[in-house]
């Protein structure tokens, strides 16, 4: 089942998504949470930090696995996803660093690293709740268009569009790594719950194609239509395409900010 929740803006989207993650942690304190990097989840992490500081959340038993990591980057590199998670989230909550997992970008033996990462996810008992962003080309994690749905963790060559989109985090486009480790679509689909967030007009068209169009590897996120527990939280600009075409799919009921 897929639920699409409307949020009027980025902040409301972030708060709603953070609420869903909070509920998961409260109901199951040792949850395995799958996390993402990028711009979309930044507000979610900020909100969770705030609730942690207020004493409403306890991450001491939580385990985390991240979707992806650049090939070749060490966790001390400011552009690595390990560094991103530490700076934007983990350093400000009471999570045990030993319980936070990402693919190891410094392991250049791709086969060994992918095998190790799948093993970690398996040993943790699978992912309870996976947070996802969506790329402009429909990628989830770094599963670019054309990727087979049945793949587990693997090493990918990044699409030109993705390199372009991510160069903002680097000094120049030449510094963006050309390869990355990513969980495969199969790892993502095995998560018990999926939470997809999207913000901004730039995501409107791809979000509409992914959620209402045909299910095909050319739009990796379209596979989510086959998952039985997906919640999408998106802001008004990101939902504009769906609202135009299939407004009945969007649940605006609980957008408390519409009235206040």
Count of positions on this chain that bind ligand F6R (CB under 6 A): 14
Q: Does 130 sit near ligand F6R (CB under 6 A)?
A: no
Nearer to ligand F6R, 44 or 242 (CB): 44
What mask, x for binding ligand F6R by CB under 6 A, covers residues 57 to 96?
Answer: ----------xx----------------------------
Nearer to ligand F6R, 105 or 133 (CB): 133
Residue 248 designated active-site: no
Provide the minimum distance between the beta carbon of 134 and ligand F6R in the complex, in angstroms, as a whole number. Answer: 6
Residue 147 designated active-site: no
Q: Which stretch binds ligand F6R (CB under 6 A): 35-43, 103-111, 220-228, 247-255?
A: 35-43
Minimal CB distance residue for ligand F6R: 133
Closest by Cα among 237, 245, 185, 186 to 212: 245
Q: Does 43 sit near ligand F6R (CB under 6 A)?
A: no
Q: Which stretch binds ligand F6R (CB under 6 A): 1-9, 70-78, 136-144, 221-229?
A: 136-144
Q: Reduce the DSSP state of residue 150 to 3 states and report it.
A: coil
* b/e 10-34 (16+ beta carbons within 10 angstroms → b): bebbbbbbbbbbbebbeeeeebbbb
Residue 139 designated active-site: yes
Closest by Cα among 104, 81, 117, 95 to 21: 95
> What residues pair up with 182 in beta bridges, in sequence order?
68, 154
Residue 137 designated active-site: yes
Nearer to ligand F6R, 4 or 165 (CB): 165
Q: Does 185 sit near ligand F6R (CB under 6 A)?
A: no
In this structure, the chain runs to a length of 260
Q: Does 144 sit near ligand F6R (CB under 6 A)?
A: no
Near ligand F6R by CB under 6 A: residue from 18, 32, 36, 49: 36
Near ligand F6R by CB under 6 A: residue from 57, 140, 196, 207: 140
Closest by Cα among 169, 35, 40, 160 to 95: 35
Nearer to ligand F6R, 58 or 86 (CB): 86
Residues 6+ apart with CB under 8 A from 247: none
Phi first, then psi, for residue 47 (nearest 5°) are: -65, -40
Tokens of 180: 């990355």
Angle between helices 236-246 and 204-212 (to 10 degrees): 50
What is the Cβ-side half-sphere exposure of residue 67, based on CA atoms within 13 angstroms? 26
Check: CB of residue 139 under 8 Å from CB of residue 125: no
Residues carrying an active site annotation: 68, 137, 139, 144
Residues that bind ligand F6R (CB under 6 A): 36-40, 67-68, 133-135, 139-142
């Amino acid at each position: 089942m897929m639920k699409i929740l409307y949020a009027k803006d980025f902040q409301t989207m972030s708060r709603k998504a953070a609420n869903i993650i909070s509920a998961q942690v409260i109901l199951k304190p040792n949850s395995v949470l799958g996390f993402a990097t990028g711009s979309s989840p930044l507000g979610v992490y900020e909100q969770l930090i705030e609730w942690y500081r207020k004493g409403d959340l306890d991450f001491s038993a939580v385990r985390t696995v991240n979707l992806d990591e650049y090939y070749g980057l060490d966790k001390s590199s400011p552009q690595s996803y390990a560094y991103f998670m530490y700076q934007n989230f983990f350093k400000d909550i009471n999570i045990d660093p030993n319980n936070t997992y990402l693919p190891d970008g410094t392991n250049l033996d791709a086969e060994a690293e992918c095998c190790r990462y799948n093993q970690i996810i398996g040993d943790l008992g699978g992912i309870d709740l996976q947070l996802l962003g969506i790329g402009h080309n429909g990628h989830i994690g770094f599963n670019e268009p054309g990727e087979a749905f049945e793949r587990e963790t693997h090493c990918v060559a990044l699409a030109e569009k993705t390199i372009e989109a991510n160069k903002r985090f680097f000094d120049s486009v030449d510094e963006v790594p050309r390869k990355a480790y990513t969980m495969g679509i199969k790892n993502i689909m095995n998560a018990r719950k999926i939470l997809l967030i999207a913000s901004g007009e730039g995501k409107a068209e791809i979000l509409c194609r992914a959620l209402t169009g045909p299910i095909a590897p050319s739009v990796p996120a379209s596979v989510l239509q086959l998952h039985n527990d997906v919640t999408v939280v998106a802001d008004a600009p990101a939902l504009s395409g769906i609202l135009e075409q299939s407004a009945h799919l969007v649940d605006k009921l609980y957008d408390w900010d519409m009235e206040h």
